[in-house]
Amino acid sequence: MVAPTVAVLDVDRARDKLEVLEKRLRAIEGGNSHEFGDAVGLCLVPDVIIPSKFKVPDFEKYKGTTCPKSHLTMYCRKMAAHAHNEKLLIHCFQDSLGGVSLTGICTLNQLGFHHGRIW
């Protein structure tokens, strides 16, 4: 037979482990990230002004398997007409990403590195 104090310690230890696992799971899932709140909080760059008749160029999606410098060079070349509109450049950059790279920039945004501060 197990002594009552040992059983209580085991239950307490199991409860502590469960709490740690729940915290980790919430962190992985993004906690309350499904509660959007206001639309401004979802914007990568608030107050971006998109010129009339602007069409985002077709970009080859960067997925993290090729040279990032080459991708950035090609992005800048395609967006050269808008080189002085930094907010537009930042806003459109996410359209040139795919896979893990896109997930990474979305994660940075959720962690508070948004509104152009990562640039």
Distances (CA, A) of 77 to 11, 70, 115: 61, 11, 23
Q: Report whether pLDDT(59) > 60.
A: yes
- Both tokens of 29, joined, read 């899932």
Q: Within this chain, do residues 25 and 52 fall inside the same structural domain, yes or no?
A: no
Domain co-membership, 16 together with 56: no
Co-location of 51 and 28 in the same domain: no
Instruction: Give the pLDDT mean for 12-36.
Output: 76
The residues near 96 (Cβ < 8 Å, ≥ 6 apart) are 59, 60, 61, 62, 71, 75
Judge if 66 and 17 occupy the same domain. Answer: no
Among 20-24, 86-90, 108-112, top mean pLDDT goes to 86-90
Q: What does the block give as tokens for 12?
A: 């307490």
- For residues 15 and 68, membership in a common domain is answered with no
Whether residue 81 sits in one domain with residue 42: yes
Domain residues for the domain of 87 are 36-119
Q: Are residues 69 and 111 in the same domain?
A: yes
Query: 53 and 97, same structural domain?
Result: yes
Number of independent structural domains in the chain: 2
* Residues 48, 64 within the same domain: yes
Q: Are 22 and 51 contained in the same domain?
A: no
Distance, CA of 80 to CA of 87 (rounded, Å): 14
CB 108 within 8 A of CB 71: no
The per-residue pLDDT for 86 is: 92
Count of other CB atoms within 10 angstroms of residue 75: 20
pTM of the model: 0.56
